[in-house]
Amino acid sequence: MSAKRDPLCLVDGSGILFRAFHALPPLTTRQGVPTGAVFGVTSMLTKLLREQPDAQIVVVFDTPGPTFRDDAYADYKAGRAETPSDLKRQIPYVKEIVRALGFPVLEVEGVEADDVIGTLAKRAADGGRSVEIVTSDKDMMQLVGPRVRLLDTMKDRVTDEERVREKFGVGPENVVDVMGLMGDSIDNVPGVRGVGEKTAKRLMEHFGTIAAMYERLDEIDDLGLRGAARIRKQLDEGREDAELSRFLVTIKCDVDLGVEESTLVRGEPDVVALRKLSQELEFSQLLKDFLGDAPSESRPVREARVADLSALDEGLRQATVAVGIAHGTAARIGAGREAAVTAVGSPDSAEVLVARGLPDGLPEVLSGRGTGTVYVADLKAALHAVALDGDGAEPGEAVLVDTMLVSYVLDPSRRGHGIDALAKDRLGREARG
């Protein structure tokens, strides 16, 4: 890399994009544009910036089209489901936001993002720099070394050489040998038929490499493996598959990147582009630290209107509804106090309806009946509140989204995930009782 000595942080952009899409609920804008994956990636990147302000951060994506692995094995990654349309719609937004934040984006045709990351990591580590790879892909464990470690931001977990040995039973340099024997069903890497993870680990603990194993196959009988004769026969018959699989899972670390590595530095955020994206995707609070002092679009303040429970029941019939319950608190409505207070709103309403007690239709809504989306602040507490009424509604088809769980998935390090904390952080407003 360049002469800079700051840590290098390489982000597996494609990996975190897919993970965010499958981990988060189907978030959308008021116009119905899917944003869950974009929100997850943006949250991760802004958190990364807060925690590693001095790091040189590069985001790497896969490119469409075949790679050298497809040329070597026509069935590589065969059988993978087509990318969901909602995810396809979000990919351009993710790349726009990454670039608008000032991060360099790198994509190289004919190879995978793993190979680009491997090349950058090796060159930086060889030059004496520390490297952190943001990914949850176990394949990347082969890149771990004295100066290279992996960071799983969602689980807040770091993988170093010791953790690799715990996972694979061998050091990072032999991860490809274990994976070559056991294969990988996700990428349709064949491995050796009948050899699973446990056997592959035991074999590589003894032999170290696939090449060494095939030079000393007769030693398998002395390893105490159950069915040793069968295993030796399978290995003998599956030699070509083992060698091919090892090639397929090996990350290429000498890619011609097509750019000068010294140019992969972070620029200043593009405030105009970020403001446009924050308004279009309704991310103004998420990106507030990068929008400057100019005014940006804000959501209208919805006033709470005290109503009776029948009005709340009517509000609960919305296809998309948000529900909040304060139970066993000193919540005050007018001059009286009750054990439970329920608030109901929807994206299209100009106000939030609030009433003492629990509406008759609430158990049905919280059971997931219907076909819409129900947003609940602390679903567990809401279900406990409903249980007090003794309703035994069965699960339905609606999507239930717990804002507390979504907040935790996006940022586990946050101190609070309740509605008060979220209102202050996301809307810049104090929740009022």
Tell me the CATH number at 118: 3.40.50.1010
pLDDT digits (tens, 9 = 90+) for 366-387: 888 777 888 888 888 888 887 7
Are 367 and 415 within one domain?
Answer: yes
Helices (H), 24-111: 36-51, 68-72, 85-100
Question: What SS3 class is residue 354?
Answer: strand
Taking 80 as the threshold, does the pLDDT of residue 412 lie above it? no
User: Residue 346: CB partners within 8 Å, gap ≥ 6?
Assistant: 315, 318, 320, 321, 322
Taking 60 as the threshold, does the pLDDT of residue 357 lie above it? yes
What per-residue confidence (pLDDT) applies to 406? Answer: 83
Distance, in Å, from the CA atom of 270 to the CA atom of 280, rounded to the nearest integer, reads 15
Are 92 and 108 within one domain?
Answer: yes
Instruction: Give ∠ CA 301-307-309 in degrees, rounded to 5.
Output: 125
In a domain, 1, yes or no: no
Are 406 and 318 within one domain?
Answer: yes
In a domain, 286, yes or no: no
What per-residue confidence (pLDDT) applies to 427? Answer: 61
Q: Where are the beta strands (DSSP E) in 8-141?
A: 8-12, 56-60, 105-106, 131-134
Are 148 and 232 within one domain?
Answer: no
| pTM score above 0.85 | no
In a domain, 234, yes or no: yes
In a domain, 293, yes or no: no
Are 241 and 258 within one domain?
Answer: no
Distance, in Å, from the CA atom of 385 to the CA atom of 379, rounded to the nearest integer, reads 10
Of 217, 249, 281, which residue sits at a domain end? 249
Distance, in Å, from the CA atom of 88 to the CA atom of 96, rounded to the nearest integer, reads 14
What per-residue confidence (pLDDT) applies to 413? Answer: 57
User: Residue 142: CB partners within 8 Å, gap ≥ 6?
Assistant: 172, 173, 175, 176, 249, 250, 251
Are 50 and 153 within one domain?
Answer: yes
Distance, in Å, from the CA atom of 203 to the CA atom of 197, rounded to the nearest integer, reads 10
pLDDT digits (tens, 9 = 90+) for 1-29: 444 567 899 999 999 999 999 888 878 88
Distance, in Å, from the CA atom of 405 to the CA atom of 417, rounded to the nearest integer, reads 8
Are 318 and 413 within one domain?
Answer: yes
Q: Averaged over 400-409, what is the pLDDT?
A: 84
What per-residue confidence (pLDDT) applies to 263? Answer: 86
232 pLDDT band, cuts 50/70/90, is very high
Percent of the chain with pLDDT over 90: 46
Total domains in the chain come to 3
What per-residue confidence (pLDDT) applies to 253? Answer: 96
Are 389 and 241 within one domain?
Answer: no
Are 400 and 422 within one domain?
Answer: yes
Are 179 and 203 within one domain?
Answer: yes
Tell me the CATH number at 216: 1.10.150.20
In a domain, 237, yes or no: yes
Tell me the CATH number at 416: 3.30.420.10
Are 179 and 133 within one domain?
Answer: no
pLDDT digits (tens, 9 = 90+) for 59-77: 999 999 899 999 999 999 9
| Residue with the larger pLDDT of the pair 273 and 431 | 273
Q: Which domain holds residue 257?
A: 8-163+252-263
In a domain, 13, yes or no: yes
pLDDT digits (tens, 9 = 90+) for 137-194: 999 999 999 999 999 988 889 999 999 999 998 999 999 999 999 999 889 999 999 9
Q: How many CB atoms lie within 10 A of CB 6?
A: 16
What per-residue confidence (pLDDT) applies to 393? Answer: 47
Q: What is the mean pLDDT of the chain?
A: 85
For residue 337, the Cα-to-chain-centroid distance in whole angstroms is 42
Are 209 and 347 within one domain?
Answer: no
